[in-house]
Amino acid sequence: MDKFSDFPTNLTAPGRDAAAVSPNDLSDLAVLPRALFVGQGGALALRMAGGQDVVFQGVQSGAILPVRARRVMATGTTATAILAIW
């Protein structure tokens, strides 16, 4: 039993769920994450929650980026094994 399971989820709490991300130029993520985990490093092309398109270059393997990205784009993304955390 998780004695902390009744605590509310907010943006400063640890993530409670995660899902694999398949980069896609046309589709937003099903859930707006609070962070992205990058299993295999490279570039990460994102559309942020605010609508800006950005590319994070040189993201290291195992990095957790505390960003609210609504889309991970296929074009420009070389990183793999990406997880959305919320």
The residue written with tokens 């962070």 in the block is 35
Tell me what pLDDT residue 47 has: 98
- Residue from 71, 63, 69 nearest 79 by CA: 63
In a 13 Å sphere around the CA of 18, the CA atoms on its Cβ side amount to: 12
Tell me what pLDDT residue 14 has: 86
Over residues 34-46, the pLDDT tens digits come to 999 999 999 999 9
| Helix (H/G/I), strand (E/B), else coil: 40 | strand
Over residues 12-27, the pLDDT tens digits come to 788 899 999 999 999 9
